[in-house]
A and B are shown apart, each in its own frame.
Chain A
Amino acid sequence: MWMTLWNNRIQVAAVILFAVGFVTLLLHRNLIKKVIGLNIMDTAAYLFLTSIGYIENRLSPIIQEGDTALETYVNPLPAGLVLTGIVVSVSVTAVMLALTIRIYRRYHTLNLDDIYRYVHDEMEGEQ
């Protein structure tokens, strides 16, 4: 069992990072840390994806001297998917940070519990 885990060590690392990021995103009360958790989670997914594409003793998928044999290059598809995924995670992070700034301007805190309490007080006052 330990041998299999060691053989798949990169995927193991990715899985642990994913769980850490997931829990941070879901449970942490600080908005900035939630954003950090989101990034850890996404990065873990990309690490996992990249590790799928790697094949030992093969070159990066840029054709050299017209050699187009399958055995020469690693799997190019995961690299493409990671590229797509990175852009998605950049966009999402930007939106989350913008939301965080707006929240901070309004309530002067980043702690979600405090913000909920303020919002609750606000709603008591409405019609």
Chain B
Amino acid sequence: MSFCLNFPLFLIVLSLISAVLCIILPGKAARYVALSLALLSAVLNAVILFYVYPRNISVTYLMGHYPHPWGNELRISAMEALFSSAFSAILVLCLLGGSAQLREKVQAELSPYFYVMTCLIQAALLALVYTNDVFTGYVFIEICTLSSCGILMIRKNGRTTLASVRYMIFSLVGSGLFLFGVIFLYNITGELLMPNIRAAVLTLWTSGEYKVPLLTAMCLMTLGLSIKSGLFPFHIWMADTYGTAIPGASAILSGLISKGYIFFLIKLIFDVFGVDVFYASGIHNVLFVFGVIGIIIGSVSAIRENNILRMIAFSSAAQIGYVYMGIGMSAGAGITAALFQMLTHAATKPALFLSAGTMTNAMGNAKKFRNLQGAGYVTPVAGLAFTFESFSMIGVPLTMGFMCKYLFGTAAFEAAPLKMIPTLIALSVSTILNTMYFSRTVIRIYRHPIANGHEREKTRVSYALAAVVFIVVNLFFGVFGKSFIDALGNCVTIF
């Protein structure tokens, strides 16, 4: 076995160790630890990707001395390596771009704890992506919940605390449902490892035995994860959460945490329920319907909002709707589109939150649009990044957002006509609405040349670096994305 297959284990343990280590370090050192850890993770996962992808293999990695069904396992294939690498890289950028705000809005003695939580988040995301065991998934989902609540509530004012209460309640409802689903599944299959469950589920499905409990388990697990990731009727925590956290935290929450849950759900669909069983059960139709409604409702709510951070949060709800619409559409093209949409959103939304945070900060904590006039001149880099990422959200050609919408469009034409028409309607309506609210914001921030009292602010190097990298990545995948998407489609087949 090649040595690089040990990297996931090392990275998970290293993240846990650095999380514990950060409690005795001062803020600055903790920041370096968290940053270098995320960078290391991005690089090593990329190494795994380049080892696994050309060989077209998927490897199970034993956690302990006991072979197949007796111990915990990790599973390493190209998809897992790609997503963990992307998540870690985005975590690096979020930490780079968000640190200035952290220093201003959080007590100095608490700032190491922010990095404790980001290290835990990284460990949880890696474990969620790589795990091959449902119960391990549950444990790391809880770590993810607690640590994401941690980065949220580290800003100690009333509204943020209320938002964290709300976030916690929805998360706990979600993980409770998920746990109950796991228990049902264990009761009827007697297994906890994903491949074994899939084999058992397939036998049960074809024989018709325990059909109702099986469906219940699938519903509970899907429902739990969709509550946690903020699918339409449960998106109501999003606006408060993302709108009140410090921008670095909202970037991580919207860009990574919800994507981690969705990735785990997709993993469940492929490895636990089995694609055939899942798409025969009809649950995907429910996901599709709520995804489509979520796109429309999210966009409409975003238009009605007059607070920039809350507007971006509602737009997140719409984007999550896209992902679920893709999952609901079909197993092949639909899932590929959903996965690419996840990457796009993870690469776009953090940049939007960080830029908006920088702009509001420069304008004296103004969040309403009328107070943000001229913010694009006060902080040129943030204004530019915001504009560019807005274009990506709208779906202007040469950006990732365009590729995404193109993928959804082509997937829609392959799908059944009953799904094709709603998809196309949702795509066009949401594009129009997106254009309306993002162009409104962009026009607003460039309306007046530097207005009364606001000097041009010096841009922080770390933030500028993060913003530039976000833009370059977006452009790169927007222009040369075709071959990447083909590769993604290949990964789906061996997932």
> Which positions in A face B, CB cutoff 8 Å?
18, 21-22, 25-26, 31, 34, 38, 41-42, 45, 48-49, 52, 77-78, 81, 84-85, 88, 91-92, 95-96, 99-100, 102-103, 106-107, 112, 115-116, 118-119, 122-123, 126-127
Q: Which of A52, A77, A85 contacts B179 (CB 8 A)?
A: A85
Q: Give every chain B residue within 8 A of A22 (Cβ-Cβ).
A: 173, 176-177
The stretch of B55-63, B363-371, B402-410 in contact with A is B363-371
Contact between A99 and B161, CB atoms less than 8 A apart: yes
What's the Cα separation between A45 and B178 when bound, in Å? 10
Q: Which of B146, B161, B183, B366 contacts A45 (CB 8 A)?
A: B183
Contact between B368 and A127, CB atoms less than 8 A apart: yes
Q: Give every chain B residue within 8 A of A81 (Cβ-Cβ).
A: 135
Contact between A42 and B135, CB atoms less than 8 A apart: no
Q: How many chain B residues have a CB neighbour from A under 8 Å?
A: 32
Contact between B172 and A92, CB atoms less than 8 A apart: yes
Given that A25-B172, A106-B158 are known contacts, is A92 also in contact with B146, CB under 8 Å in the complex?
Answer: yes
Q: How far is the CB of A79 from chain B (nearest CB, A)?
A: 13
Residue of B nearest to A102 (CB): B161
Residue of B nearest to A18 (CB): B180
Q: Give every chain B residue within 8 A of A45 (Cβ-Cβ).
A: 176, 179-180, 183
Q: Which of B149, B158, B172 contacts A107 (CB 8 A)?
A: B158
Residue of B nearest to A25 (CB): B173
Contact between A106 and B183, CB atoms less than 8 A apart: no
The 3 lowest CB-CB distance pairs between A and B, nearest first, are A127-B366, A106-B158, A41-B176
Q: Give every chain A residue within 8 A of B149 (Cβ-Cβ).
A: 95
Q: Please, could you name 15 A-B residue pairs with CB atoms under 8 Å apart, sorted by A?
A: A25-B176, A26-B169, A42-B179, A52-B183, A78-B186, A84-B139, A91-B142, A92-B168, A99-B165, A103-B162, A106-B161, A107-B158, A119-B158, A126-B367, A126-B368
Q: Which of A38, A41, A88 contacts B142 (CB 8 A)?
A: A88
Q: Give every chain B residue within 8 A of A119 (Cβ-Cβ).
A: 158-159, 162
Q: Give every chain B residue within 8 A of A42 (Cβ-Cβ).
A: 176, 179
Q: Give every chain B residue within 8 A of A99 (Cβ-Cβ).
A: 153, 161, 164-165, 168
Give B141-185 as 1s and 0s: 1 = Cβ < 8 Å from A's Cβ atoms: 010011001000100101101101100110011001101100100
Q: Give every chain B residue within 8 A of A91 (Cβ-Cβ).
A: 142, 146
B462 in the interface, Cβ–Cβ < 8 Å? Answer: no
Q: Give every chain B residue within 8 A of A31 (Cβ-Cβ).
A: 165
Given that A22-B173, A25-B173 are known contacts, is A52 also in contact with B139, CB under 8 Å in the complex?
Answer: no
